[in-house]
Amino acid sequence: DPFRKPSYLFALVAGKLVAIEETITSGSGKEKLLQVWVEPADLDKTRHAMDSLIHSIRWDEQRFGLELDLDRFMIVAVGDFNMGAMENKGLNIFNTKYVLANPETATDTDFANIESVVGHEYFHNWTGNR
């Protein structure tokens, strides 16, 4: 991405990953590609994280007029990430605990935690990482 950032916000992830993708249209009519990257066996557990990201983006735009300033925004979930999540600009890195939810076994608390952490990390896009 073209944005200057503190060095601690630079991120690079490599691996055999697949993504769920959604394209949303901002209030100004710009298309934005959203992706949630995971290991192939976990792809079916990403829907709630994607919905949470979309909800957070829309809320930020409607409530504060803060449109996503990137054409592409990615979340990646890795099992051995030692923190809950990190708000790297355009590539948020998460522990799988805060992205993956099997609708048949996840609890309400699991879903709430995912929405909370996805929102928290996305909101850093405008508040805190400039």
Residue 130 lies in a domain: no
Return the bridge partners of 117, or none: none
Residue 114 lies in a domain: yes
What's the number of domains the chain is made of? Answer: 1
Q: Which domain holds residue 14?
A: 7-123
Residue 116 lies in a domain: yes
Residue 12 lies in a domain: yes
CATH number of the domain that residue 108 is part of: 3.30.2010.30
CB contact set of 115 (below 8 Å; sequence gap of 6+): 48, 52, 55
Catalytic status, residue 31: no
Q: pLDDT per position in the chain (130 positions), as tens?
A: 677 778 888 888 999 999 999 999 999 999 999 999 999 999 999 999 999 999 999 999 999 999 999 999 999 999 988 888 999 988 999 999 999 999 999 999 999 999 999 999 999 988 866 5
Residue 128 lies in a domain: no
Residue 1 lies in a domain: no
